[in-house]
């Protein structure tokens, strides 16, 4: 298997190649004066399986289109199969038409990924809402990996947790809170809204007591940080000793990084699916393991 990466995931691509004891193949990517992108495969790939690592963060349109050009260049160089690795997958939230005339973004992007010649897809903690299994959303084999266990192990190694408790900021985050709690040997809960009157809403953990505890607040992604900041304020109000915020994808737009600490977080931990000041946990091993397992299964089959 040959490893290549787009400009969104160049360092991550190098790390994955090292984990697999391979050299990342070279691709020339540049811009013409008018802004168009130019892509050229520099190493031979004929007859080979190629894993293309490319995240879609902050400027997803650019990185998505760059992925299409990379795949076209690989197919034009007679690559046998294309395995897409999208550490951060954009456009997942628009999986239904909520208003007349809206684009069904997830479906459109999937169609484009498939049509360009992708044979298989891996994502990491994809921001899923109403789609429970990406294997059913794609028409090609697709798998969603999770970085949450490794995030929890990092927190366990680097923080002396006192009476740890794990919280998710909302109902959708329960799946990640449950996994992190298992790794940390802690109880978990989520924040929920309780309407006390027509005008008053209370937001607090459903049942878990956090007073005096070190709380790990975990979600799949942080974009503007608004939801997480509100959750941190609530946890502080409930008397938590420390708040360690964590996520798989630290997109961190619109001053989110500052907002989270202003709300009362002591630490913020994320992965390198999106390069950020808090990308302490690498997903290179997770990706390499998935690709190795895939190769082993194909050989065994």
Query: Which positions are catalytic?
Result: 193
CB 177 within 8 A of CB 206: no
**What is the gyration radius of the CA atoms in the chain, in angstroms?**
21
The tally of CA atoms less than 13 A away on the side-chain side of residue 79 is: 26
- CA torsion sign for 295, 119, 136, 222 is positive
CB 1 within 8 A of CB 291: yes
For residue 74, give every residue at least 6 positions away whose Cβ sits within 8 Å of its Cβ, in sequence order, or none. Answer: 4, 41, 45, 50, 52, 82, 117
DSSP state of 101: T
């Amino acid at each position: 298997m040959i490893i290549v990466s787009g400009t969104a995931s160049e360092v991550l691509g190098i790390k994955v190649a090292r984990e697999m004891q391979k050299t990342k193949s070279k691709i020339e990517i540049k811009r013409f004066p008018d802004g168009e992108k130019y892509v050229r495969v520099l190493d031979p790939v004929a007859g080979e399986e190629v894993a293309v690592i490319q995240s879609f963060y902050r400027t997803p349109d650019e990185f998505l289109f760059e992925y299409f050009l990379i795949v076209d260049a690989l197919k034009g160089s007679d690559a046998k199969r294309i395995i897409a690795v999208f550490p951060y997958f954009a456009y997942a939230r628009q999986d239904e038409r909520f208003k007349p005339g809206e684009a069904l973004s997830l479906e459109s992007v999937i169609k484009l990924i498939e049509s360009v010649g992708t044979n298989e897809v891996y994502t990491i903690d994809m921001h899923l809402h109403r789609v429970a299994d990406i294997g059913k959303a794609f028409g090609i084999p697709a798998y969603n990996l999770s970085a949450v266990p490794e995030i929890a192990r990092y927190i366990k190694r680097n923080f002396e947790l006192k009476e740890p408790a794990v919280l998710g900021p909302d109902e959708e985050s329960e799946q990640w809170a449950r996994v992190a709690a298992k790794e940390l040997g802690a109880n978990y809960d989520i924040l929920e809204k309780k309407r006390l009157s027509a005008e008053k809403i209370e937001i607090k953990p459903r049942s878990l007591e956090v007073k005096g505890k070190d709380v790990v607040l975990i979600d799949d992604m942080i974009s503007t940080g608004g939801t997480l900041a509100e959750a941190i304020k609530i946890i502080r109000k409930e008397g938590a000793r420390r708040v360690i915020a964590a996520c798989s994808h630290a997109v961190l737009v619109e001053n989110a990084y500052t907002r989270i600490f202003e709300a009362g977080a002591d630490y913020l931990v994320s992965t390198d699916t999106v390069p950020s000041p808090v990308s302490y946990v690498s997903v290179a091993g997770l990706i390499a393991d998935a690709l190795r397992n895939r190769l082993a299964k194909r050989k065994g089959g």
